[in-house]
Amino acid sequence: MKLKNKYFLLLLILTSSFVNLRSQPTNRILFIFDDSYSMYAPWNSNIKIEVAKKIMGEFLDSLKSIPNLELALRCYGHQTFIKPTRNCKDTKLEVPFNVASKSAPLIKQRIQKLEPLGTTPIAYSLGESAADFTPCSNCRNIIILITDGIEECDGVPCEVSAALQKKGIFLRPFVIGVGLDVKFADVFGCMGKFYDVSNEANFKDVLNLVLTEAISQTTVQVDLLDILKKPTETDVNMTFYDSNTKQIKYNYLHTLNHRGNPDTLVLSPNITYDLMVHTIPPIEKKNITIQQGKHNVIPVDAPKVI
């Protein structure tokens, strides 16, 4: 397989080494916590806010020793009483990002003091969260929204979420609906990945599941197919781009192991990728999605150019 000139190849390999040998990315999770007046509603053994405080406290305790993890807390509906008029800008970053060992206790402490007061400005809160993620060259920005209601301030959360994802501010959010009707899954589905917590018994299980999906990596192999559709082509550099932001996420030199199989790569599962294989001419494959928790195979037609 012909490559571009040696200098270009060398540059890509050096870039690949820099990108992939540096330290593991820091996972930054921003919890957006609903403290609107509806959280006073009864739910199973208690009212929603008390159940949420208890389970979130236990969950946060379990995060303190996780490496490469930073946490922050933004709340909404907790500063202005809903009557006589609702405050559709009632949101605030209560605990800024810090390593989990320091931020988890602070978030737990702040949540315990919350009293539901106001309305549900989800779209505005999402928009304000963009500033919560300070610049970082090696971070994965994640939002976990915990809410018991839908947007109440005429905002469009799906549009705000899509715009900020496209700018690379954060990955696709996770939305946990606390005691919500399952019919709202479609309302939140366009904003992020929706999880229905129908009762308090599975609240913590859902939190743990979301955490696993949010911070875990997924394995991938790229099969460069020859003219017989066999994965024998190799020794070529390839670049993975975020299909939304067009930023380079990974560079790898494609090689085969001693068994003749393509290398196993580790990629974030929360991104849609464009792949460029640097042959002559270059080969591009767009809008690649990979499945969480599985070994993914990406076939690319790349026969040798004569």
Q: How far apart (Å, rounded) are the C-alpha atoms in residues 209 and 213?
A: 6
Across 11-25, 62-76, 80-94, 113-127, least confident range = 11-25
What does the buried/exposed string (b/e) look like for 12-33 if buried means 16 or more CB atoms within 10 Å of the residue's CB? beeebeebeeeeeebbbbbbbb
CATH architecture of 217-301: Sandwich (2.60)
Supply the pTM of this predicted model. 0.76
Comparing CA positions, the residue from 82, 86, 149 lying closest to residue 117 is 82
Residue count (the chain): 306
Q: Which amino acid does the sequence have at 225? A: L
* pLDDT tier at 182, thresholds 50, 70, 90: low
- Provide the pLDDT for residue 229: 92
Q: How far apart (Å, rounded) are the C-alpha atoms in residues 117 and 293?
A: 40
* pLDDT tier at 198, thresholds 50, 70, 90: confident
Chain region(s) in the chain for CATH 2.60.40.1120: 217-301
Q: Does domain 26-215 have CATH number 3.40.50.410?
A: yes
Chain region(s) in the chain for CATH 3.40.50.410: 26-215
Across 16-25, 68-77, 274-283, 290-299, least confident range = 16-25
